[in-house]
C-alpha cells in the first residue's frame, strides 16, 4: 500500500532562492537538507541549478 501524501507544494522563486541560501549556510549535504525540508534530494539539486542566488548554479 502506498503512503498517501498531501498535494505537492509548488514553491515560487523567492522561496526557492531562500531555501538555496539556507542550504548553502546549513553545512548539510543535499540529501540531509532534503530530509530536513521534506522534499526529494533531486528537488534540492534542481533548486540549486535554477536559483538566481549568486554562485548557486556554478559547476
* Residues 3-56: tens digit of each pLDDT: 445 667 888 999 999 999 999 999 999 999 999 999 999 999 999 998 888 765
* 10 falls within a domain: no
pLDDT reported for residue 25: 96
pLDDT reported for residue 1: 45
Read off the pLDDT band of 2 (50, 70, 90). Answer: very low
State which residues form the domain around 40: 21-50
Residue 22 and residue 28: Cα distance in Å, rounded?
Answer: 10
What's the structural domain count of the chain? 1
* 29 falls within a domain: yes
* 26 falls within a domain: yes
* 33 falls within a domain: yes
3-state SS class at 55: coil
Using an 8 Å Cβ cutoff, are 48 and 20 in contact?
yes
- Cα distances from 9 to residues 5, 27, 32, 36, 48, in angstroms, run 11, 25, 19, 16, 17
Residue 41 and residue 1: Cα distance in Å, rounded?
Answer: 23
| Residue 24 grid cell | 548553502
Amino acid at each position: 500500500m502506498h503512503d498517501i501524501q498531501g498535494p505537492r507544494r509548488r514553491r515560487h522563486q523567492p522561496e526557492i532562492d531562500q531555501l538555496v541560501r539556507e542550504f548553502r549556510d546549513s553545512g548539510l549535504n543535499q540529501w540531509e537538507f532534503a530530509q530536513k525540508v521534506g522534499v526529494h534530494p533531486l528537488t534540492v539539486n534542481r533548486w540549486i541549478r535554477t536559483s538566481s542566488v549568486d554562485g548557486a548554479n556554478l559547476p
